[in-house]
Amino acid sequence: MPPPVLQRLAAVLSPDRILAGAAQLAAYESDGLTAYKARPLAVVIPESADEVVAVVRFCRDERLPFVARGSGTSLSGGSLPVAGGIVITLNRLNRILRLDPDQRIAVVEPGVVNAHVSVAALPHGLYYAPDPSSQPICTIGGNVAFNSGGAHCLKYGMTSNHVLGLKAVLATGEVVTWGGASREQAGPDWCGLFVGNEGLFGIALEVTLQLLPRPESYHTVLAGYRTLELAGDAVSAIVASGLLPGAIEMMDALALEAAVAAVHAEYPPGCEAVLIVELEGPREVVAADRVRLDAILAASRAVEVRVARDADERLAIWKGRKSAFSAVGRLSPDFIVQDGVVPRRRLGEALRRIDEMTRAAGLRCANVFHAGDGNLHPLILYDGRQPGALERAEELAGRILRMCVAMGGSITGEHGVGVEKRDYLPDMFTPDEVDCLRRLREAFDPLGIANPGKMFPAGEASARPAHGLHPLERAGVISRV
């Protein structure tokens, strides 16, 4: 006999779309932050925006915490269930409601997979720019909640820069509509405030996305360096040149080793760092810019510079980069992905200090990062079966985050605070500022039922450690960035 609250829930949603069995719930206990697990009371599967609204209002009336979930790829534990709460899965709200090539917009439901937007836009010569590495599976709803980034943020920004309009149900049950087809707006930027709310304000029901014309041509270059410093110098030279590459990515030796093992990527031998630089735009513009980029790289003391000659070679370069995270899973049973940001000019110093701290902790750390915008992704390797290993890894992760803040950066560039970094929020914000954030949260969610336990420090949610790759990661379906 289900608990009375679930019997009442059955009046809101068809019982066959309420999962409450232990085996059914097990699949939802964790997300991309595999070190944490929590068992919800139930998982519900709405099929329409109206059903999502009804479930949220039910949760409000019952004072029941809820967590919205797309594909569960959050690396900060953003969709970690609240023990005893409701998980609202949005995967069935997966329709592209409208695609208007003249206005260059797509209106989508939250369960639409990121990559599917670009697939739908392709026949019109358009695409959706934000490209987190999990894009073959992560959903727009999750991207909106966590303001997801990707490899092209320096030039194109994050999810927030591409969300023009939103219809959302707030934790109060109120349904709001902000923005629309226009790229401009009058009055405060409510969409901007909502994107990146980490599920603490409510649930997006419809999202209007801006689409961009697909770049006509690319010039993608991979350069190998004997040292991280030389690669860092090359990044500085590119930035100083006045070029605006679509992406500047870097991988260190351990990350390269992982990519070679996992997807048979081929890199110049003996390199401590590999740089990926991509120019894109109209062919005449790329033709002129590549002359300058090639000259910079030729003078950068690279071991080898490889230019992608066609689309296949370009994809091969990106495959090595985008699979690097899950590839690291081959080197270690468990790992933590960090997401700190430092000023770009301090990248070299940050990497040296990460290396020192890692050695001192007796751990290994691979580095894959967005060099163009200073967004680091140290991957701290550990074996969760060894007593104290997770704690040592988390302690190292914490030291890295504090270093990022001390350098004038951020604890998170694109993964969000979530449950993972909530204890570090006070490192970035004063008590008054944390209070201001709390007041905002209370304005949207006075009962504290929307994704409690995330972003803010102090234990609102219980979670117990686990270890291992996400099942979809093991299957090679998703990767972490």
Residues 87-146 that bind other proteins (CB under 8 A): 100-105, 124-126, 146
DSSP structure class, residue 225? E
Which pair of tokens denotes residue 281?
């735009």
Q: Which of 9, 11, 163 minimizes the C-alpha distance to 88?
A: 9
66 close to 87: Cβ distance less than 8 angstroms:
yes
Angle ∠(148,151,154) on CA atoms, nearest 5:
90
Q: Which stretch binds other proteins (CB under 8 A): 13-21, 52-60, 302-310, 408-416?
A: 408-416
CA distance 16 to 237: 59
Q: How far apart are CA 272 and CA 225, in angstroms?
A: 6
Q: By CB under 8 A, name the one of 2, 84, 136, 180 that touches other proteins.
A: 180
For residue 5, the Cα-to-chain-centroid distance in whole angstroms is: 34
- CB of 363 closer than 8 Å to CB of 388: no
Based on the shown chain and the rule CB under 8 A, indicate whether residue 402 belongs to the binding site for other proteins: no
Q: By CB under 8 A, name the one of 136, 157, 268, 448 that touches other proteins.
A: 157
Among 428, 449, 461, 478, binds other proteins (CB under 8 A): 428
Choose the binding region for other proteins from 61-69, 91-99, 325-333, 369-377 (rule: CB under 8 A): 369-377
List of long-range contacts for 401-406, beta carbons under 8 Å, 24+ apart: 401/338, 401/340, 401/427, 402/427, 403/340, 403/342, 403/350, 403/353, 403/354, 403/357, 404/340, 404/341, 404/342, 404/350, 404/376
Strands in 18-19's sheet, in edge-to-edge order, are 18-19, 42-44, 86-89, 66-69
Query: Which one of 80, 153, 166, 234 is in contact with other proteins (CB under 8 A)?
Result: 153
Stretch that binds other proteins, among 42-50, 91-99, 131-139, 185-193 (CB under 8 A): 185-193
**Rounded CA separation 268/226 (Å):** 10
Least Å distance between CB 208 and other proteins?
10
Listed ranges 42-50, 158-166, 259-267, 348-356: which one lies at the site for other proteins (CB under 8 A): 158-166
Site residues for other proteins, window 205-224 (CB under 8 A)?
213, 215-216
Q: How far is the CB of 422 from other proteins (least distance, A)?
A: 11
Runs of H (alpha helix) within 241-375: 253-263, 283-298, 311-322, 324-328, 347-360
Q: How far is the CB of 312 from other proteins (least distance, A)?
A: 22
Which residues 19-58 are close enough to bind other proteins by CB under 8 A? none
Judged by beta carbon, residue 260 or residue 425, the one nearer other proteins is 425
Site for other proteins in 316-345 (CB under 8 A): 339, 341-345
What is the nearest approach in angstroms of other proteins to the Cβ of residue 152?
Answer: 11
The footprint of other proteins on this chain (CB under 8 A) covers a number of residues equal to 93
Smaller CB distance to other proteins: residue 199 or 224?
199
Chain residues 53-92 in contact with other proteins, contact rule CB under 8 A: none
Structure tokens at 198: 């980490």
Are 448 and 458 in contact, with CB atoms under 8 Å apart?
no
Q: What secondary structure letter does DSSP report for 162?
A: G
- What x/- string results for residues 231 through 250 when contact with other proteins is judged by CB under 8 A? -----x--xx-xxx------
Looking at 5, 12, 62, 185, which residue binds other proteins (CB under 8 A)?
185
